[in-house]
Amino acid sequence: MTGQSGELKVIGRRTLFVIALAAVLLIPACTFLPQKSWKPGMALIEPTDPVTKVKVVLHFPASDWKNLVREERDAVSRGEASYLTAFRELARGPSAGQGLPSIPAGTVLLSDPVLSGGVLYLNFSKISDIRSAPGPVERLVLQSLVYTLTEAKEVTAVQVLVDGQKLKTLAGSVNVSNPLKRQNFAQQGGPVGK
């Protein structure tokens, strides 16, 4: 009996070790971003995907920082979701005379946008120029993201993350701890020129 009990203890320890090792390897790091197999450096578009032209509606901050300017443009799509095409075009900035860029220079998207339950998660490394910007700048940058990305029928809200974490605010005037919807900005100057 003593020999069997010793074997059971060894088997039990081995089993416990295997279970603990599996848990460590299989449980992802704590983050608010839904899991997706993506590695830094991967493109939003694969070069072998077929090319099609699509229309996208973008919303950029007006040059006076009082409202948004609506811009329609033709874009190239390689079969990705419409919100990915729209985000890519938003990151390129407005056409000449059509407003100001929505995504501050130096801001890096850490991973592909992830859609989960109608919420589009954007995981930025930083949103550089916003931290010291006045309230209207922060509001219009966020409103630009939300209005542009919710043009896609499958996107109902946008959750902005910084380094995979939810923040209370980016610059002090807009609560970004929950997903943002168009209604969050309804009283604060919507787009012009519908």
**Integer Cα distance of 28 and 35 in angstroms:** 8
Q: Is 69:94 a contact under the CB 8 Å cutoff?
A: yes
- Output the six-digit token pair for 92: 């390129």
The residue type found at 157 is A
Q: Is the pLDDT of residue 134 over 80?
A: no
Per residue in 66-117, pLDDT (tens digit) is: 899 999 999 998 888 899 999 999 989 998 777 888 887 778 888 888 999 9
Residue 22: pLDDT band with limits 50, 70, 90: very low
Confidence at residue 43, expressed as pLDDT on a 0 to 100 scale: 52
**Does 70 share its domain with 105?**
yes
What 3 state SS string does the chain have?
CHHHHHHHHHHHHHHHHHHHHHHHHHCCCCCCCCCCCCCCCCCCCCCCCCCEEEEEEEEEECCCCCCEEEEEEEEEECCCCHHHHHHHHHHHCCCCCCCCCCCCCCCCECCCCEEECCEEEEEECCCHHHCCCCHHHHHHHHHHHHHHHCCCCCCCEEEEEECCECCCECCCCCECCCCECHHHHCCCCCEECC
Q: Answer with the residue of higher pLDDT: 121 or 2.
A: 121
Per residue in 33-51, pLDDT (tens digit) is: 444 444 444 455 555 667 8
Average pLDDT over residues 19-30: 44
**Structural domain boundaries enclosing 103:** 52-192
Whether 80 is covered by a domain: the verdict is yes
Whether 37 is covered by a domain: the verdict is no
Whether 125 is covered by a domain: the verdict is yes
Whether 35 is covered by a domain: the verdict is no
Whether 42 is covered by a domain: the verdict is no
Q: pTM for this structure?
A: 0.69
As for how many domains the chain has, the answer is 2
Residue in the structure block whose two tokens are 């589009």: 120
Per residue in 170-191, pLDDT (tens digit) is: 777 788 889 999 998 875 544 4
Residue in the structure block whose two tokens are 């995504």: 103
Whether 76 is covered by a domain: the verdict is yes
The whole-angstrom distance between residue 171's C-alpha and the CA centroid of its chain comes to: 18
Give the pairing type, strands 119-124 and 114-116: antiparallel
Q: Is the pLDDT of residue 27 over 70?
A: no
**Does 24 share its domain with 61?**
no
